[in-house]
Structure 1
Amino acid sequence: MRNLLSVAVFSLLLLSPVVQAEEPTTSHHAATEHGAAVTHTQGVLKAWNPHKVSIAHPAIESLGWPPMTMNFLQPQPPLAELPADTPIEFSFRQVDGGYQLITLSASQQ
């Protein structure tokens, strides 16, 4: 009887990590979707519309990007519009379909 109990306890200890690994965790998926890294940088606003903003930015070493002009998706509702050629500071994150702005403001420099 004692051996049977020892085998049962030992088996439970061995199987416990397997059961935990197979258990679905919706909170993990939510953290992945909403936990994308946020990048902060500066640039010059080139064009604006309710769906996307074109920005010329310097190299972003943390992402391995060279200097370029690219489109960033607008959040919904869109951010407050600024005129073209405004020096800006902005933050963005990667989302399905591209890179989405989080903040955008005229540069204080």
Structure 2
Amino acid sequence: MRNLITAVFISLMFSSFVSAAEMQHHQHASQDAAVYHSKGTVKAWGEQKVSLAHPAIPALNWPPMTMNFLQPQPPLPALVAGTAVEFSFRQVDGGYQLTAISASQD
């Protein structure tokens, strides 16, 4: 009986350890989300979101579109609507977040 209790206790400890390790790995993976790059045009600028029109992004199998990107915190410096830009972004909970944006030098 003592061996059975010991085996159950060890199994529970091991499964808790594995679950904690999986959670930590999941959190680390989301922090290391791929960063994508594109060009586009600013359509609207806000404290929480930036609307950008961009060409197709093959890495994500996206067609050309206009979409909102979340602002990082603190927000990036504002650019006016109509500005041609180069930008980088990553996937986060709740959408896609800008990591960098600058006026194009074209």
Structure 1 length as normaliser, TM-score? Answer: 0.77
Q: What is the aligned residue count? A: 90
Aligned partner (choices 27, 41, 45) of residue 44 of structure 1: 41
Q: Which runs of 5+ in 2 are unaligned?
A: 1-13
Q: Which residue of 2 aligns with 1:76?
A: 73
Paired with 1:30 and 1:56, the residues of 2 have a C-alpha distance of: 31
Q: Which residue of 2 aligns with 1:66?
A: 63
What CA deviation, in whole Å up to 9, does each residue of 1:58-83 have, x standing for no partner? Answer: 00011000000000000011000011
Larger Rg: 1 or 2?
1
Aligned-pair CA distance for 1:30: 2.5
Q: Which residue of 1 aligns with 2:11?
A: none
Structure 2 length as normaliser, TM-score? Answer: 0.79
Aligned-pair CA distance for 1:108: 1.1
Q: Which residue of 1 aligns with 2:98?
A: 101
SS at match of 2:76: coil
Q: Which runs of 5+ in 1 are unaligned?
A: 1-18
Aligned-pair CA distance for 1:32: 1.4
Q: Determine what percentage of the aligned residue pairs are the same residue.
A: 60
